[in-house]
Amino acid sequence: MQSFDDILKRVGNTPHISLSSPNERVVLFAKLEWFNPFGSLKDRAALWMIKDAENRGVLKRGQTVLIEPTSGNTGIALAGVARALGYAVELVVPARVSEETKALMRSLGASVLETEDDLCPRVGSGTDQCIALAKSIIKARPGKYVMLDQYSNEANFLAHYESTGPEIWSDLKDITHFIAGVGTGGTLTGVAAYLKKKNPNIKVIGVQPQKAHHIQGLRNLEESMVPELLRRRLDLIDEWIKISDKEAFEAVRFLAESKRLFVGPSSGAVYAAAQEVASRLGKGKLVLIFADDGRKFWSLYKQFKVFTREEFEYYRRNARYLPENILFQENIVLDRSAGRLC
Ligand X SMILES: Cc1ncc(COP(=O)(O)O)c(C=O)c1O
Which active-site residues does the annotation give? 42, 266
Is residue 19 within 8 Å of 276, Cβ to Cβ?
A: no
x/- track of binding to ligand X for residues 286-315 (CB under 6 A): -----xx-----------------------
Q: Which residue is nearest to ligand X, using beta carbons?
A: 217
Positions 259 through 288 that interact with ligand X (CB under 6 A): 264, 266
Contact between 98 and ligand X by CB under 6 A: the answer reads no
Positions 221 through 260 that interact with ligand X (CB under 6 A): none
Positions 116 through 135 that interact with ligand X (CB under 6 A): none
Contact between 164 and ligand X by CB under 6 A: the answer reads no
Dist CA 83 CA 80 (whole Å): 5
Q: How far is the CB of 221 from ligand X (least distance, A)?
A: 11
Which one of 68-76, 85-93, 167-175, 300-308 is the stretch in contact with ligand X (CB under 6 A)? 68-76
Radius of gyration (C-alpha) of the chain in whole angstroms = 19
Which one of 5-13, 49-57, 181-189, 321-329 is the stretch in contact with ligand X (CB under 6 A)? 181-189
Residue choice 129, 187, 208, 224 for contact with ligand X (CB under 6 A): 187
Burial category of 230 from C-beta neighbours within 10 Å (exposed 0-12, middle 13-18, buried 19 and up):
buried
x/- track of binding to ligand X for residues 23-62 (CB under 6 A): -----------------x-x--------------------
Dist CA 289 CA 300 (whole Å): 21
Is residue 78 within 8 Å of 89, Cβ to Cβ?
A: yes
DSSP 8-state code for residue 163:
I
Residue choice 12, 217, 284, 294 for contact with ligand X (CB under 6 A): 217
Distances (CA, A) of 107 to 27, 35, 113, 340: 39, 19, 14, 15
Is residue 25 within 8 Å of 4, Cβ to Cβ?
A: no
Dist CA 186 CA 61 (whole Å): 26
Dist CA 278 CA 21 (whole Å): 7
**Binding-site residue total for ligand X (CB under 6 A)?**
20
**Contact residues for ligand X, defined by CB under 6 A:** 40, 42, 72-74, 181-188, 216-218, 264, 266, 291-292
